[in-house]
A and B are shown apart, each in its own frame.
Chain A
Amino acid sequence: MGLTNPATEYRDAEVATVSSISPNWVTTRLDFLTNWARSNSLWPMPFGTACCAIEYMATAASRFDLARFGMERQSFSPRQADVLICAGRLPFKLAPVIRRIWDQMPQPKWSISMGACASSGGIFDNYAMVQGIDTIIPVDVYVPGCPPRPEGLIYGIRLLQKKIMGESIDDDMLRDEQPVGPSGLFLAADRVDELSEPFGNSVHQTRSTS
């Protein structure tokens, strides 16, 4: 039993070894056990701000049924949540709100940026909109789409589960809080500017300056 090679696949040998002393005992790796438990009981904190939230609701409802992935309970309190799902564009006015919700969530915690606007600002390259929530909070999985279909979100959630299966309790950086620093930002200022650079069609738009 070692912590060298994190499990990324469910392998029978790792799930259980039936003890030779008693059939009621199984042995397994601690990493595998905690990651398996965590990844299959992710309680989402829905932060729905726009049309992505509609797709999120469809994902959670009976047809696509998030409960199949251990997300039975929607946690509307950040203090009982594991994964923050930002579904929709984030205006600057909501930036301190999502930051506070993220700070209120206990470790271990993860976040999913759902849709083009949450991931990059999307079509809203303007004065009011955060150009990607990764300038406000750390993000684990980006789900593209405008909005993503439920299959897309489920794929993102499965990716997150896969990522969690690869974690190790040996890695003490993993559970570090990344607070807003003395500069008033979560990232370095030039990183925020770089992440917010216009791209695609938005580069060619006419803009007035003063």
Chain B
Amino acid sequence: MSSVSPSVAPLRAEFGAAVTHHLVSCGDTIVYVDRERAHDVLAWLKDSPGQQFDYLTDITAVEYRDPERPLEVAWQLRSLARKADLRVKAELNKRAPLEVRSVYDLWRGADWLEREVYDMFGIAFAGHPDLRRILMWETYSEGYPLRKDFPLRGHFSRAEQTRQALAANPEAHYSMEELSIAEAFDELPAEMRERLARGERGFLT
């Protein structure tokens, strides 16, 4: 099981230097690609005959303890037809804006996965239709909890955290589309309609 995935050779032939290196870890092949070309690589892996990575298992990110090491975004792919897996990674320099192109247009399931990575690591996915926090509430302002420079207990005092949490509107975590009552919007009481339309949702800064 320690053999290199057969997808690596065609990937290198297709993308050349955009595939920086690859390695085999615990039987899984990891392909490192250029940040700018990541979307092209993933689109090619999804649609090329012989690759058919039609299932996006997960998107996540890694930050290492070494502060000089770049952040990594990882896409875990699966070909349901070929019963094959492949992990694609892109490195993001911490000094540059943490941004990578969204793969929402390739796999709809990327929607919440990318929102989670954004919420926890602060990595922006360009082209995502609704990039906002998903685990923490929307007005959460302490930062990105899974980053190494984030203290385990958070930046603020417990009293300040409690105050901000109590000030959050528990109904404001949902967009209108997510609310099952969205279709019955016109039948809601005027006061509630006004409140929902106003949103009272936080804005990402």
Contact = CB atoms under 8 A, between A and B. Distances in A.
Interface in A173-200: 180, 183-186, 189-190, 192-193, 195-196, 198
A128 interface: yes
A136 B145 CA distance: 23
Interface stretch (B36-44, B70-78, B164-172, B176-184): B164-172
B22 to A, nearest CB: 32
A125 B161 CA distance: 13
Q: Give the residue among A92, A196, A207 with the most B Cβ atoms within 10 A.
A: A92
Contacts of A193: 157-159
B150 A184 contact: no
Given A93-B136, A95-B165, A95-B166, A125 B159 contact: no
B66 interface: no
Contacts of A184: 163, 166-167
Interface residues of A, number: 33
A185 B162 contact: yes
Nearest to A126: B152
Interface in A83-99: 92-97, 99
Q: Give the residue among A125, A127, A198, A207 with the most B Cβ atoms within 10 A.
A: A127
Nearest to B161: A92
B166 A127 contact: no
Interface residues of B, number: 28
Contact of B150 (A93, A131, A190, A210): A210
Interface string A122-158: 0001111011000110000000000000000000000
Contacts of A96: 165-170
Given A127-B145, A128-B136, A193-B157, A92 B162 contact: yes
B130 interface: no
A99 B161 CA distance: 15
B150 A205 contact: no
A185 B148 CA distance: 30
A183 B149 contact: no
B151 interface: yes
A209 interface: yes
Contact of B149 (A186, A192, A210): A210
Contacts of A196: 158-159
A19 interface: no
Contacts of A205: 152
A127 B159 contact: no
A210 B151 contact: yes
20 contacts: A93-B173, A94-B170, A95-B162, A95-B168, A96-B169, A125-B153, A127-B150, A127-B154, A127-B161, A128-B136, A180-B166, A184-B163, A185-B166, A192-B158, A192-B162, A195-B158, A205-B152, A208-B148, A208-B150, A210-B155
Given A126-B153, A193-B159, A196-B158, 6 more contacts: A95-B166, A96-B165, A100-B170, A135-B158, A183-B163, A205-B152
